[in-house]
Amino acid sequence: MRKFLIKLFIVTVITLIADRVLALIVGHFYKTTTTADEYKLNQVTYKLKAPVIFMGSSRCHHHYVPSIISDTLKTDVYNAGLWGMRNIYFQYSLLSNIVENYTPKTIILEIHPIDYLHTPFSDIETMGVLTPFIGYSSGCDEVLKKAKLYNKTSLSHLYRYNSLFPNIIAGNIAQRSNPADKGLKPLIGQLDIKSGDIKPEKFPYPVDEEKLRYLQLFVNVCKQKKIQLIFIFSPMYAVEKRSSLFIIPNKIALKNNIPFINHYYLEGITGHAEYFFDYGHLNSEGAKKYSSIVASELKQYFKKKSTSVATFH
List, for residues 115-160, the tens digit of each pLDDT value. 999 998 888 887 889 999 999 999 999 999 999 999 887 888 988 8
31 has a pLDDT exceeding 50: yes
Please state, for a pLDDT cut of 90, what percent of the chain lies above it: 65
Q: What is the mean pLDDT of the chain?
A: 89
Pairing of strands 228-233, 260-262: parallel
By three-state DSSP, how is residue 54 classified? strand
Q: Provide CB contacts within 8 A for 200, sequence distance 6+.
A: 236, 238, 239, 240, 243
CATH hierarchy code of domain 49-146+179-303: 3.40.50.1110
Pairing of strands 281-282, 276-278: antiparallel
Highest mean pLDDT among 17-21, 159-163, 232-236: 232-236
Helix then strand then coil, in percent of the chain rounded to 5, is 50, 10, 40
Q: Do 60 and 110 touch, CB atoms closer than 8 A?
A: yes
At 313, the pLDDT band (50, 70, 90 cuts) reads: very low
Between 312 and 36, name the one with better pLDDT: 36
Q: Do 297 and 230 touch, CB atoms closer than 8 A?
A: no
pTM > 0.85: yes
pLDDT at residue number 43: 94
Cα–Cα distance for residue pair 89/143, rounded to 1 Å: 7
- Mean pLDDT, to the nearest integer, of 40-68? 96
At 312, the pLDDT band (50, 70, 90 cuts) reads: very low
Q: Which residues of 178-194 are buried (b: 16+ CB within 10 A; e: fewer)?
A: eeeebbbbbbeebbeee
* Domain residue spans of the chain: 49-146+179-303
- Mean pLDDT, to the nearest integer, of 245-265? 96
CA 60 remoteness from chain centre: 8
At 307, the pLDDT band (50, 70, 90 cuts) reads: very low
pLDDT at residue number 165: 84
By three-state DSSP, how is residue 117 classified? strand
